[in-house]
Amino acid sequence: MLKIENLKIEIDGKEILKGINLEVNQGELHAIMGPNGSGKSTLASTLAGRDIFTVTSGKVTYLGEDLLEMSPEERAHKGIFLGFQYPVEIPGVSMVNFLKTAINEQRKYRNLDPLTASDFLKLMREKKDLVELHSNLTNRSVNEGFSGGEKKRNEIFQMAMLEPKLAILDETDSGLDIDALKVVANGVNKLRGKDNATIVITHYQRLLEYIIPDFVHVLYKGKIVKSSGKELAMELEEKGYDWIKSEVE
């Protein structure tokens, strides 16, 4: 589904990613772990189409197509979803208007008619239940005045609404208390399927107690320095990142 080959990325002349190789197939869940500043968020944003980074070499193929050639909206239409580490507050744009526009744009791309108001509301209720979102977040402006936990739950809610093929969750667990973490993990697990794939980016092993990954990768100084099964996460929790650092350097 996704193939990253020798991807190198710069921002303001500084190399952040120094040759990433990663392959993600349908039905898989990959966890990318690593200390702060290792380039995890840069990788996530690049895959979603953020244009503040410069790709200096390498290529990314998604469903057989060159991903880096596509605009962010095109990537979304083709099923990529980024759960933001810091979801943006957009005062004045209502959640309902935002989601309705997003869904209908995606439907238009798939040659489907726009959802009727009642179908849209029905879908929203259904997905709210799925991700256990019982508050009235959907009556407010996008992320405006949301608490940290509400923002993250809202990301998972959007993911449920948009039903992506490839979901990339950037530090979705950061700043969450244990209850919120469980809700977020539950949402992710319910949305996992054999046709889609998920990349979970996290600093801590904690989330991986609830979301069991098929593969764990350690990103350090812009490179994936270790890849293994879910047991790698446990090892990291036990020994800390210093263990990796000393092994690499």
Nearest distance, CB of residue 99 and another protein, angstroms: 8
Distance, in Å, from the CA atom of 3 to the CA atom of 170, rounded to the nearest integer, reads: 18
The reply on whether position 109 binds another protein by CB under 8 A is: yes
Query: 33 with 217: CB under 8 angstroms?
Result: yes
| Listed ranges 5-13, 46-54, 172-180, 240-248: which one lies at the site for another protein (CB under 8 A) | 46-54
Contacts for 135 with CB less than 8 Å, ≥ 6 apart: 150
The reply on whether position 50 binds another protein by CB under 8 A is: yes
Distance, in Å, from the CA atom of 18 to the CA atom of 99, rounded to the nearest integer, reads: 36
State whether residue 26 is helix, strand or coil. Answer: coil
Q: Give the number of other CB atoms < 10 A from CB of residue 69.
A: 9
The reply on whether position 145 binds another protein by CB under 8 A is: no
Structure tokens belonging to residue 226: 């270790």
Q: Give the number of other CB atoms < 10 A from CB of residue 30.
A: 21
Nearest residue to 244 via CA among 200, 209, 205, 198 = 205
| Listed ranges 15-23, 98-106, 213-221, 229-237: which one lies at the site for another protein (CB under 8 A) | 98-106
Cβ-based nearer residue to another protein, 45 or 205: 45
The reply on whether position 112 binds another protein by CB under 8 A is: no
| Listed ranges 62-70, 94-102, 209-217, 218-226: which one lies at the site for another protein (CB under 8 A) | 94-102
Cβ-based nearer residue to another protein, 21 or 141: 141
The reply on whether position 68 binds another protein by CB under 8 A is: no
Number of chain positions touching another protein (CB under 8 A): 32
The reply on whether position 156 binds another protein by CB under 8 A is: no
Distance, in Å, from the CA atom of 73 to the CA atom of 225, rounded to the nearest integer, reads: 32
| Listed ranges 28-36, 81-89, 127-135, 206-214: which one lies at the site for another protein (CB under 8 A) | 81-89
Distance, in Å, from the CA atom of 1 to the CA atom of 24, rounded to the nearest integer, reads: 6
Query: 181 with 172: CB under 8 angstroms?
Result: no
Within its chain, how far is the Cα of 5 from the centroid?
Answer: 19
**Which residue of 36, 88, 194, 238 would you call a contact of another protein, by CB under 8 A?**
88
**Which residue of 49, 187, 213, 222 would you call a contact of another protein, by CB under 8 A?**
49
Cβ-based nearer residue to another protein, 84 or 215: 84
- The residues of the shown chain that bind another protein, judged by CB under 8 A, are 48-52, 71-73, 75-77, 81-82, 84, 87-88, 90-93, 97-98, 101-103, 105-106, 109, 141-142, 158, 162
